[in-house]
Chain A
Amino acid sequence: MRQVYSILVNNHAGVLSHVAGLFTRRGYNIESIAAGPTEDATITRIVIVAIGEENELDQIAKQLRKLYDVREVEQISYNQAVTRELVLATIEAPINKRSEVIQLANAFGAQVINMTDDTVTLEASGNDHKVRTLLKAFEGYGISQMARTGMISLPYDGMPEDWEPIA
């Protein structure tokens, strides 16, 4: 199972390594990690995607809550939050494939940010599913370089009280 954790921490030196260290120490796997400031300068939001068994995923949340600098841990379900990831990817695109690649990029709403004789570099963002589909679509052309931010996430505001997530 995969789980997204949205973790609010005190913006202190060493907190990120403390949080990441917990995963190492307890033998949990991090798929991605993204950290950045929030609306409150004293607080940082860390979004971690982890893979594990169901009871392990709950244990991770409990262990995180024990850390002094951790203020809040939310285990985010896919339906209750918006999740996004930014991808930069350089695609092998010789002249004869270039328009095909650009067309495909347009279909995903990706921006062309650089072009050479044999490559096109794209910028794309989206949720987990879109990013995966996009990367799969370009796989056949060859991806020579790639950088991903890891997922960031915010819970949807103003969910109706009687709203039930679709399982």
Chain B
Amino acid sequence: MAVATKAKSQATKQPAKLKPKKISGAEIIYRSLEREGVKYVFGHPGAILLTLLDLFLERSKIKHLLIRHEQCAAHMAEGYARASGEVGVCLTTSGPGATNLITGITDAYMDSIPIVCLTGQVATTMVGNDAFQEADIVGMTRTVTKHSYLVKSTDDLAETIQEAFYIARTGRPGPVLVDLPKDVLLGDGHYQIPEKVDLRGYKPTTKGHPRQIQRVAEAIKEAKQPLLYVGGGAIHSEAHKEILKLAETAEIPVTYTLLGAGAFPSAHELSLGMLGMHGTAYANYATMECDLLIAVGARFDDRVTGKVSEFATRAKIIHIDIDPTAIGKNKAADIPVVGDARLVLAEVNKLVKPQKRALWKKRIQNLRTEYPLSFDSPEGAPIKPQEAIVALSEEVGDKAIITTEVGQHQMWAAQFYNFTFPRQFISSGGLGTMGFGFPAAIGVALARPDKLAIDIAGDGSFQMVMQEIATAVQYGIPVKVFLLNNATLGMVRQWQDLFMDRRFSEVDFDSSPDYVKLAEAFGASGRRIVDKEELRPAIQEMITTPGPYILDVIVDPDELVFPMVPAGGATKDMIVRDSRKKVLRGKLSALPDN
């Protein structure tokens, strides 16, 4: 991840005195993208973009992918950014092309993902006149971007795009939008950029204050039961090595958020897995018992803390974050440290001496044995979604990068997949966007051709974005959909099960597509399985079949995600395991015949 300290090396060569020749706005944009090292642009055309699109015909440095719905362009750019740490780019036309991006932009904003969205706009002379396909996208995206620009002159294009990339990738990363009026694209101007981006009001702090770092080291030394709580910021700053070193040196157990999964190996003896609403019971109990909580690039989100006044009440709080507004927003910090997680922890590690915490480790071990993650899989019962994920994890393991949609399957994936490296788990955390995982997986496949891009999907989410199979087929992108198909909106159904007296309103799909035929209709491949015995052979078939593939796994719709801290409840109110009387209804008949 490029943080402010990794300044761009490609300083521009400005000709000494000669004023460069004017070139077209489209040409300036193409050169600017080239300069930023952009390899892929996820886009959908429109009349305003004609001159820019024309450049993609003969040039090969930047590949434009024709996606099928703009929301997915933003998610693909996000997937690309999340997997590579580089800035993802999308390009859409004005009006609906731009407004369709908003969900993806908001998703990127909530999860701090660096993307740059270029949108066409009607000519500056028409702006404000309710012209055809005009929308005030700058105004609309103001609260969901780090910044949004309306470029008013062709001469400003190069500098604006340079700034946009700089803002997107530095500090707490996030989306930036650049709105490109038609006359700015068509007009001629100078490609002019400063040697170095210098924005007066924007100077992210990356190095932690030495006094605070000293205090962190002292607190770690004094603590008896410390706990590391690692969030998405640890991934963005690539702090995983420093976290591993700190955890092992000072014997500090580690728990991570949904977005922090992958920052610490799931199977490490100090790993407690995910915490929060659907975190492991032992991670949640550890937060109640710890006397020092070290938050690294995490923001005390309500899905993590539950009732925040009862979260980690015995602990002194250290909060390391690059964004000063994240600190003290939800939970007061005893030792706040503003800075880049990797740089701060590297300094902390210089001060921390090896320490043994046999008692605390033993306590954690006891919690782990007493409250393990578990599920039942009786003989002859439908496939349990959890066992499907365990099988996938065992069959593909670190060969895959996993994306997810949003819902039950997402929580099970976070709980049961064995993550071994950062950026291996890519999921929509803050916004919780159904339909994120499939387009994101397409971006992942392009960013990491050395890995398998697998979307662990729910059928509800997948139906929102399945038109993108066409994109995957058109470009031969070998993205795999591991579809946990329960023919219902499982998470909402779970809440109805637990809190609405099992009154299942508006969640069941009485009609679902035949996903195998669907794959085939698009020119992809697929298979449906209903028996446990088929799981592993089918997974092998999925990963060895070239091209996009949908594995339709028919799973038990009555399975619930546990543990669960009810929304707004305290960690101590956690429901650890499923104690319901099992009532299996004739749900499976609603699925297509095999």
Contact = CB atoms under 8 A, between A and B. Distances in A.
Determine the main DSSP class of A at the interface with B.
helix
Contact of B146 (A21, A62, A68): A68
Interface in A19-36: 21-22, 25
Given A55-B332, A59-B329, A68 B167 contact: yes
Contacts of B16: none
A58 interface: yes
B324 interface: yes
B325 A18 contact: no
B147 interface: yes
B338 to A, nearest CB: 10
Contacts of A66: 323, 325
Contact of B199 (A18, A21, A68): A68
Interface of A: 10, 14, 17-18, 21-22, 25, 55, 58-59, 62-63, 65-72
Contacts, number: 36
B328 A18 contact: no
B139 interface: yes
Contacts of B139: 14, 17
A25 B142 CA distance: 10
A70 B199 CA distance: 10
Given A14-B138, A21-B143, A59-B329, A67 B201 contact: yes
Contacts of A25: 143
B202 interface: yes
Interface string B327-339: 0110010000000
Question: Interface residue tally of chain B, by bracket?
Answer: 10 to 19
B200 interface: yes
A65 B325 CA distance: 9
Contacts of A18: 142
Given A18-B142, A21-B142, A68 B328 contact: no
B200 A71 contact: yes
Contacts of B199: 68
A69 B202 CA distance: 8
A10 B167 CA distance: 17
A58 B201 contact: no
Interface in B144-159: 146-147
B328 A70 contact: no
Nearest to B152: A13
Contacts of B143: 21-22, 25
Interface string B537-580: 00000000000000000000000000000000000000000000
Interface string B477-518: 000000000000000000000000000000000000000000
A9 B325 CA distance: 19
A62 B142 contact: no
Q: Which 5 A-B pairs have the closest CB atoms?
A: A68-B147, A71-B201, A62-B325, A25-B143, A62-B324
A65 B138 CA distance: 20
Given A21-B143, A55-B332, A68 B325 contact: no
Contacts of B142: 14, 17-18, 21
Interface of B: 138-139, 142-143, 146-147, 167, 199-202, 323-325, 328-329, 332
B200 A58 contact: no
A59 B201 contact: no
Nearest to B202: A68
A71 B200 CA distance: 6
Nearest to B143: A25
A54 B138 CA distance: 32
B106 to A, nearest CB: 12
Contact of B325 (A14, A59, A70, A71): A59
Contact of B201 (A55, A62, A68): A68
A121 to B, nearest CB: 37
Nearest to B167: A68
A14 B328 CA distance: 29
A26 B328 CA distance: 15
A10 B325 contact: no
A102 B524 CA distance: 87
Contacts of B329: 59
A55 B202 contact: no
Nearest to B338: A62
A17 B139 CA distance: 9
B324 A70 contact: no
A1 B332 CA distance: 19
A106 B200 CA distance: 46
22 contacts: A10-B201, A14-B138, A14-B139, A14-B142, A17-B142, A18-B142, A22-B143, A55-B332, A58-B328, A59-B325, A59-B329, A62-B324, A65-B324, A66-B323, A67-B201, A68-B146, A68-B199, A68-B202, A69-B201, A70-B201, A71-B200, A72-B201
